[in-house]
Structures are given as structure tokens and as C-alpha cells.
Structure 1
Amino acid sequence: MKETPVPYKPKDEIKKLQEKKLQQLIQYLNTHSPFYKKLFVQHSIDISAVKTLADLIKLPITTKDDLQTNNADFLCVDKHRIIEYTATSGTLGSPVSIALTENDLQRLAYNEYNAFITADGTAKDIYQLMLTLDRQFMAGIAYYSGIRKMGGKIIRVGPGVPALQWECIARYEPTIIVAVPSFILKLIQHAGQHHIDINSTSVKKAVCIGENIRNAGCSLNILGKKITEAWNIQLYSTYASTEMQTAFTECSAGKGGHLQPELIIVELLDENNKPVPAHTEGEVTITTLGVEGMPLLRYKTGDVCMYFDEPCSCGRNTLRLSPLLGRKKQMIKFKGTTLYPAALFDLLNEIEEVHDYVVEVSTNEVGLDEVLLYIHTADESAESYHRIRSYIQAKLRVSPFIHYVSEEAIKEIQFHEASRKPIKFIDKRK
């Protein structure tokens, strides 16, 4: 008799599984992790007293600063057991190295296998990967490994170059694409310019990475609507980070990314590191399960989300995370208004004349946040510029500086030599 997959088990069974794995993790860290052994001593932690998920609050949190400052002390295995070195993108500071053992790579494949199954993938599907598989990008190897584990077929095209993407779609007939949503818009624009009937192609689904396609309540945002209004495909949102080595992926219900309970514990914490209730903003704080090389305990990601615990129509009994609402370190205080870059992205995506953009924040001469928008438009007339400025001011009630640039200039800003995806936010604050 086939065993019920973990996400479909009763909630009390899922909780017991997580608590067993939590106890194993704490023992492992106390034995093998230089960083956590020291942390437990500093805080006089009795690890035997941590038995349930409710006991997590007895443990100190770990921050991005800890991981950046003490990167090597998080390693729990001899260096000869490391198979691969990956690194964070450096969005919220200098990149952090994450070392993976053979077991970690197998876990990563299992994670993405689960993710693609959640997004209704099957062994019959052909996936076109429109993302980098180099530059220490963990997600790239995760997608590739997960599809292989599922038995699906893979087309590794890499990022960018819409013409090549469409050539491969015509030649290999993929059923699913994995791509950054804003790049999917560029595919649509290219198709329109070259008379490609996108709705007669083989592509039926898109697994969306790196950008929101939904609002806080999980309805499609402007970016998601623009894609689906032009292209009759099912979109699946994802949320992940290199540090957690795990993905939260939507099912077809589109009501948040499902937790993989055998791989990770997630808490959403307030400013005082206390858990928040469902439907309340909190900082995503993760505890990895089954990671061998560099496991993390109560690691605050800097990402702000909500969680949903109502039953899902797909039958999974797992907590779900909302789209990313913002990042703690990216919050902008501009002329008395609090903004997250994601809100600016949504606003700019609403404006038909805006083809591409970058948001830059810096510190002005009196120590306050200053916002500069680099915008590439279809229409470079003074009337168009005035309409864009007026629209932004009306929506934000404040007026950022706007610098209109060419398509070539915006690409130079978005892509530098080490970039793995287009940069939409630049933080130059002191």
C-alpha cells in the first residue's frame, strides 16, 4: 500500500514529524556546528528542554549578519565532504556561501521534485529553463535536479534572448516554462512584434520565480494579469531562498506557497521575535530539516510575508505563505511615506508606457531616503513623461526623481557581470 505523502497527512501527524526532526537537528547542531555550540552556551540553552514547535521560542534567533560574519562556523562537516559551493545573490548585503554535501544535493532534488509536483508537473512534461544554471545559483541546479528526479524532460536555454526562447519552444514543444515573470512579458512583446501566435504553442504553464505575480491576498497583481491576459497559461508562484534550501510553491488553487513540512519549519515573527497569527505580516524565520552541510536554526530571512492556515482545495494540510510583501532592509521612508520596492514595482507595472525600470534608493545630504526611478518608455515625448510623472505622484502622493533612459541603458543598469537575474532595486543608502 502506497504511503500518504507528508503534506496530505493529518496536521497532528505532520506536527509530530516536525518535532522529531527538530530534536534531531538540535542534537546535530550541538555536536557539529561551531556557531550553534557557542550560541547555546552563550544563552545557557538546555537543548533537552526543546521538544515541541512551541518550544522554539526558547531558542535565540540567527540573523543574516551572523551568517555573513561567521560564515565558516556554520559548516557542520569536513570540507572533503562538500560537493558543491553555492552562494546567495547578495540582495541584502554581501553574498553568503552555502556548502552542500551529497545528501544535501539529494535533499535539494527532492525539494524541487515536491515543488514541481505541487505545481501539477508530471513525468510527461517538458520544462524550458529560462534561468542561469551557473554563477553558484542554487535554484538553477535545484530545478534541473528536481525535474530529473520526476522523470520530466529539460531544455536548458538560460536567461534572456527572447528569439532563442521562441525558437526552442517551436522546436522542442515544452509544456512548462520556468522564468522570471517580467521576462515572460518580454517574451509576449517579442511574440507580438514577430507575429507568433503564443496561444497555439505547446506551453500551458509557467513556474514563476524571483518576482511576485500576486497581491497580498493572492489575487493576480498587475504583472500576473498582463501575462494571463495575453497568454492563456496557468501561472504558479514560488518563494525560496538559498539559505533555506527549500521552496514554497503554489498548487493550482493559487492561495499561497505550500510548506514542505519534512524539509523546513517556518515561523513568522514580529519586531520582538514573537510569533504572529495567520493573515498578519511577520518576518519569515526558518529552521531547516535534514540539511547536513550548513543547517540553520530560527534564521530570520529578512523577508516579510503572511501565512494562511485554512484548508486548501488541493487536500494538502500544510501552512501556506503569502507572496513576498517586502524585505526588512529594503523598506524605504520617503517624504513621510513608508514604501517597499514591491509596491513601486506594482505601480510601474500598471503603466502601459513603461517598458522597463529600476528603482534606486540613496541617502540625501540630510540623511533621509531619496528615491530615483530609471524608466525606459515606449513613447519618449514630453507628454508621455508628464503623464507618467503625474500618475506616479497621484498614486504615491509623493514625487520621486525620474530619469528616462534608453533600452540599452536600462539593460546596463539591470545586468552587471555577476548578476543572475535582472536587478530591479539598487540600495545605495549609507
Structure 2
Amino acid sequence: MIWNPEAECMSQEEKQELQLRRLQNTVKRAYENVPYYNKRLRDAGVFPEDIETLDDIEKLPFTTKNDLREAYPFGMFAVPDEEIVEVHTSSGTTGKPVVSGYTSRDLEIWSEVMARALTMGMATRKDRIQNCYGYGLFTGGLGVHYGAQKIGATVIPISAGNTKRQIEIMQDFGTTVITCTPSYALYLAEVLEKEGVDIGELNLKSGIFGAEMWTEEMRETIEARLGLTALNIYGLTEIIGPGVAMECTEKNGLHIAEDHFYPEIIDPKTGEKLPNGTKGELVLTTLTREGMPVLRFRTKDITALRDGECGCGRTLVRMDRITGRSDDMLKIRGVIVFPSQIERALLKIKGLEPHYQIVVTRPEFLDELEVQVEASPELFSDEVKHVEEAKRMIEKHIHSEIGLRVNVTLVEPGSLPRSEGKAIRVIDKRKFD
């Protein structure tokens, strides 16, 4: 099923005509109403009338998260305060948060793209959607909520946490679709198993998981342990929230809502635009937002764009699964390492729980990489020699994946911290040494 065939299956020519018209309007709105963009565009010698083709987007300066932070709280808004009906923020874990403002029309757009996303995730008006994303200033909870209401589904606004209550609701309400982070989905599976709940007695058919990076191996683990189809959703507060892109059941990339968000891939070092099919940093421009238009936002997310019609019938460009962030890359003894590479290696090995942490230190002059991973109860209670054999095998798998030797520590089942939101996978102690 496709929520909006006219928008999601339009021809390339129709799409580009619409994108250009909307891009021109967005640049004009930003230039005339946002002092930050007025100055940046003037400094770059670019004016709204210079945007004559889609390729002219490359004339526009990039926007970074720091730029948005410096405008805290409301410096990026393009409409009078009384037209802003809702605000959300990023986590603000590394400084002031980014504030995102929405007009009534923006909320309609958000509901629309989320309705498309939920429909790709197998949701219909007959479904009960258990929304385990956090409500409040975080965009996840309300984004899903608006989309679920748009398609006419029954939304269960349970928010994050209280895991035993989550399971009780699943059983009693007959939840068919669940939305949360992939790491929390794994934790739910773990608690279900501890509580002796047979997943065959649940009505779950699909899970829509996002807000953190996860691998294909993680998908397979979640699907096996929860008995559902696990699909990937992508979004970010700076652009609108969840719903920027969503994976369909073909599992062949995430469809970007290109009529609302214009994607580019650039070389993260040079800023040069790269052709579709080439891996690089994703850059997004809003095409329809009124309250807070954003031009060429550098997401820091590493992916590639794929053209061509999908097996589902949609013609929207697809983005690959995020494999890392240009600012989250670990450089260990001169080698670039992404946490997702280590996760992929770990999840290929039987006898391991899908819970791990990467600890980076520099005891003297060389970086050291330790991977702490939970063993299964069976492996942990095994003879010491078997544990040592398993440890060496894991180190060999990781070395094969990243080209570096690491120290693996097998820890007791359940000993690593669990997360009801985004999992903390990397602890880099080098900055404190």
C-alpha cells in the first residue's frame, strides 16, 4: 500500500519541476525573513534570483548544527512568533540545543510524511501502534503520533520506559506495530524472554525503528527475537523530525520524501557534491517548511543515494542505511573505524548477546581499542578454555572487519547498561587522558 501515490510515484521530470519551484520559494523566504541567511547569502554573493536550476543549490552556503545553536533559541524562525504553534529541540548533549519551530502548516507536512512512513512500515487504519518514542521536546514521540492519527490508526502513546508495562500493554491491547529505537527493541525482547512471554502469542507484525544507527545483522536479530518485520526510519530535529526517509518492505534503502526535503551527498572533507551511488555525507534542504526553512544542512550522516523505481512502485530516491557519522568516526592508530563495523562483526558470531560497548583509551602514546561484549548465559558459564577460545575468535572477526587488533572483554549477561532511548556505544577516554 502507498499512502500518497501522486507524490511518491511521480515521474522524474514532475519531481524536479516541483523541487525547483519549491527551492526557489524557500531561498526567497529564508533570504527575506531570516537575518542569518540574509547575511550568509549576501556574504556568498548569492541572491534568490540566482537559483535558476536545481544545480544552482551548490551556490548556497552550508548550514551546520553550530550555526543553528548560535541562533538559540528563536533566531532561525522565518515567521512572527504568533505563527509558531509548536517547538521541539535536539538533545543538547554537547551544548545548547537546536530549537525547531513549526507553524500549523508545518505540522500538516510532518503528519503527511509520517503517514507515508508508517504506511511503508505496514501500518493501516486497522492497526494499533504502540509508540515507545519519548514524548516532549524530542521529536520522535509526537512525530509518530501525528502520522498515526493521519492514517486513522489507533495510537497507544505510551512513550519510553516502564518496560514491563510496555509488555503488558502489548499483550492486553493487541499491539500490531511498535515504534522505538532498535536498542530498546532488543531490550524489550530480552525482558519478554525473561518473563517467559511467547512472542507467538503477541500480535506484532512490524517495528519501525530509528534515532540511532543499526546494522543488517541487528535487524535479523530483532526480527528473530520479536517475530516481526523490522524497518528503518530516519529523521532529524533540524529538518522536521522523523519522517524524512523511511524503508519499505523491500528493505532496499530508505525512501526520502523528496517533494519536501532535497538531498545531496558531499565529500565530508571538501564539501564537493558527489554523484548518486557514491558514499559521502548527507546534506538536506527543506523545501516546504514555513516556520524554519533550512538550507543545505550538513547532517554528518554517512550514506549514499540510489536512483530508480523500487519494487514497491515508489520513484523517490533511496538512501542507504547510515553506516556512521563523519563526526563519530574513530581514528585508531591512523585507521578510520565506525562502530557499525564492529557491530556487524559481533552479530555474525553465535553465543553473543547483541549488547556491546567500545572503549577507546591512550594509556601511553598509542590508542587502545577495547570491545566489551555480553556473552550468552551458556557461554559465560562454560569452561574457561572455551571462553578464551570464543574471545580469540571474536578478536579475529573484528580484526578481519576493521583491519585492527582489538582487546575483547566478555562480560556477564545483563551487565552492560540498557537504554530506553539512544544506546551509548562508544566511550572515548582519550580526551580525558
TM norm structure 1: 0.88
Aligned partner letter, 1:98: S
The correspondence of residues 373-388 of structure 1 with structure 2, limited to 5 A, is 373-377=371-375, 378=377, 380=380, 382-383=384-385, 386-388=388-390
Residue 105 of structure 1 and its aligned partner are, at CA, apart by 2.3
| Cα distance, 1:159 vs structure 2 | 2.5
Summarize deviations over 1:273-324 as a string: whole Å, max 9, x none: 2222232111100001221222210111100001111221111111000100
Of all paired residues, the percent bearing the same amino acid is 26
Instruction: Give the structure 2 partner of residue 280 of structure 1.
Output: 278
Once the two structures are TM-superposed, the CA of residue 380 in structure 1 deviates from its matched residue by 4.5
1:10 and 2:18 correspond: no
In 2: Cα distance, 1:373 partner to 1:41 partner: 49
Distance in 2, Cα, partners of 1:159 & 1:324: 23
Partner of 2:290: 292
Residues 285 and 298 in structure 1, CA contact (< 8 A), matched pair in contact too? yes
1:239 aligns with 2:234: yes
CA-to-aligned-CA distance 1:368-394 (integer Å, 9 cap, x gap) = 654343444445565565345423421
Query: Matched residue of 2:85: which SS?
Result: strand
* 1:359 aligned counterpart, secondary structure: strand
1:339 Cα deviation after fit: 0.6
Q: CA, structure 1 residues 297+388, in 2 after alignment: closer, same or farther (shift >3 Å)?
A: farther
- How far 1:120 sits from its partner (Å)? 2.9
> 2:115 corresponds to which residue?
113
The residue aligned with 1:79 is 81
Query: Is the contact made by 1:212 and 1:237 (CA closer than 8 Å) also made in structure 2?
Result: no
Superposed displacement of residue 365, structure 1: 5.0
Moved more, 118-127 or 223-232: 223-232
Supply the distance in 2 between the matched residues of 1:406 and 1:293 (Cα, whole angstroms): 49
1:361–1:429 Cα contact (<8 Å) kept: yes
Q: Tell me the SS of whatever aligns to 1:159.
A: coil
SS at match of 1:225: helix
Unaligned regions of 5+ residues in structure 2, if any?
none
Counterpart CA distance in 1 for 2:52 and 2:322 is: 30
Alignment pair present for 1:395 and 2:397 = yes
In the alignment, residue 223 of structure 2 is paired with which amino acid? Answer: T
Secondary structure of the structure 2 residue equivalent to 1:202: coil
Give the 3 Å change call, closer, same or farther, for CA 43–364 of structure 1 in structure 2: farther
Is contact 1:393-1:399 (8 Å) kept?
A: yes
Letter aligned with residue 59 of structure 2: K
Q: Give the equivalent residue in structure 2 for 1:19.
A: 20
Q: Is the 8 A contact 1:180 1:210 kept in 2?
A: yes
Partner of 1:255: 252
Counterpart residue number, 2:416: 410
Hey, what does 1:309 align to over in structure 2?
Answer: 307
Asked whether the 8 Å contact 1:289–1:295 carries over to 2, the reply is yes
Amino acid at match of 1:131: Y
Letter matched to residue 292 of structure 2: M
Q: What amino acid sits opposite 1:359 in the alignment? A: I
Give the residue type in structure 2 aligned to 1:24: N
Residue 268 of structure 1: CA displacement?
0.7
Match of 2:358 in 1: 359
Decide which moves more: 390-399 or 39-48.
390-399
Question: Is 2:23–2:287's contact at 8 Å kept on the other side of the alignment?
Answer: yes
- 1:365–1:213 distance in 2 versus 1, CA, 3 Å: closer
Partner amino acid, structure 2, of 1:279: G
Contact 2:132 2:141 in 1 (8 A): no
| Number of residue pairs aligned between Structure 1 and Structure 2 | 416
Match of 1:227 in 2: 222
Gap change, CA 1:355 and 1:121, over 3 Å in 2: closer
Amino acid at match of 1:244: I
SS in structure 2 of the partner of residue 5 of structure 1:
helix
State the one-letter code of the partner of 1:310: G
Say whether the 8 Å CA contact 2:214–2:340 is kept in structure 1: no
Partner of 2:204: 203
Answer yes or no: is the 8 Å Cα contact 2:72–2:96 preserved in 1. Answer: no
8 Å contact kept, 2:32–2:38: yes
Match of 2:147 in 1: 146
CA distance in 1, matches of 2:346, 2:91: 24
Residue of structure 2 aligned with 1:347, choices 342, 345, 348: 345
Once the two structures are TM-superposed, the CA of residue 406 in structure 1 deviates from its matched residue by 6.0
Shift of 1:408: 7.1
Deviation at 1:148, TM superposition (A): 0.9
Quickly say closer, same or farther: Cα 1:342–1:213, change in 2 above 3 A.
Answer: closer
Name the amino acid aligned to 2:301: D
RMSD over aligned Cα, in angstroms?
2.6
Matched to 2:244, the amino acid is: A
8 Å Cα contact 1:89-1:420 kept in structure 2: no
Q: Offset at 1:110? A: 1.8
**Stretch deviating more after TM superposition (49-58 or 270-279):** 270-279
Q: Deviations over 1:332-351 (max 9, x none)?
A: 11134321122122233344
TM-score normalised by structure 2 residue count: 0.87
8 A contact 1:334–1:369 mirrored in 2? yes
Output the CA distance in 2 between the equivalents of 1:118 and 1:141: 18
